[in-house]
Amino acid sequence: MTSAVDAANPQRTGRRIRVMVVDDQAIIRRGLGLMLALESDIEVVGQAGDGQEAVEMAGVTRPDVVLMDLQMPRLSGVAATRFITSALTGTQVVILTTFDTDDLVFEAIRAGAQAYLLKDADEAEVLDTIRAVHRGESRLAPHIARKVMDQFRRLPPGAALATRSAAATADPNRAPTDDEDAEAGSDALTKREERILSLIAEGRSNKEIAGIVFLAEGTVKNYVSRIMSKLHAGTRIELAVKALRPK
């Protein structure tokens, strides 16, 4: 019987990560395909030259991960991402593009992308991101993460993450107490949830957050689920972006 841990680790089960490559430039598409084919834990199940072809091919091949370009003919990468993530809940999308404008970043994340990389990323980063999203993680390229954090710093005082208690401000790594959590209404983020949300926006994993706020990793996971529910976010990255955008 395959355990949940084994299912998330294809190297332990022998099952390879099924990847589809989508890019309108044939040389890039083929180059990525050749690079991925060299990895023992990855199988390239298809290559598409535009968004429409990607949607049709994904319905047939049902990949685990799609490497998706954004600016393509017939159907954009954002639209294709939306179609694929809506129809195939087991498929994760990694955006790999040369474009990093705010609108495209936010649109891609709202469409369901789990990661956003620029094409100047090195081979190791691309491979690591594919494996990470297959494990259920989310990733942002450092440049994109800085862009999101810059927005966070520009939030007005009345925004969702604006103020914390004086004690929390004095020591930002201190987890708020249960009494402090109880101060907030059920529909609002508690101080502890605000702290965890700010760490999510920094790209921290649940394990890293647990170490920072002195909670069990499972407890952090429960907090993340609760925050996503309150903010109506479908993915971890969307959660961060929705929280960091000015209200």
Residues in the chain: 247
Return the pLDDT at 127.
95
**Do 94 and 203 fall into the same domain?**
no
Return the pLDDT at 156.
52
For residue 201, the 8-state DSSP code is H
Structural domain of 89: 4-145
Return the pLDDT at 240.
66
Give the sheet arrangement for strand 42-48, strand by strand. 42-48, 17-22, 65-68, 92-97, 115-118, 139-140
**Do 216 and 181 fall into the same domain?**
yes
Structure tokens at 213: 């706020």
**Do 132 and 192 fall into the same domain?**
no
Return the pLDDT at 200.
76
**CA–CA separation, 196 and 161 (whole Å):** 11
Cα Rg of the chain, angstroms: 19
Return the pLDDT at 243.
60
CATH number of the domain to which 179 belongs: 3.40.50.2300
Work out whether the CA dihedral 198, 196, 130, 56 comes out positive or negative.
Answer: negative
**Do 207 and 122 fall into the same domain?**
no
**CA–CA separation, 188 and 169 (whole Å):** 19
- The residues, any chain, with a CB within 8 Å of residue 93's CB and separated by 6 or more, are 65, 66, 68, 81, 84, 85, 111, 112, 113, 114, 115
**CA–CA separation, 224 and 108 (whole Å):** 21
Structure tokens at 238: 């969307």
**Do 179 and 224 fall into the same domain?**
yes
Ranges of residues in the chain with a pLDDT under 50 are 1-8, 157-180, 182-185, 247
**Do 9 and 77 fall into the same domain?**
yes
The tens digit of pLDDT for each residue in 98-130 reads 887 767 787 888 788 889 898 888 999 999 999
**Do 98 and 49 fall into the same domain?**
yes
3-state secondary structure of 234: coil
**CA–CA separation, 31 and 209 (whole Å):** 36
Return the pLDDT at 1.
45
Domain boundary among 123, 145, 167: 145
Number of structural domains, the chain? 2
**Do 114 and 170 fall into the same domain?**
no
Residue 151 within any structural domain of the chain: no
For residue 98, the 8-state DSSP code is S
Domain boundary among 83, 112, 145: 145
Q: Quick check: 113 and 95 in contact, CB under 8 A?
A: yes
Domain boundary among 145, 171, 202: 145
List C-alpha distances in Å: 190 to 71, 150, 151, 180: 39, 23, 21, 8
3-state secondary structure of 68: strand
Structure tokens at 20: 């589809």
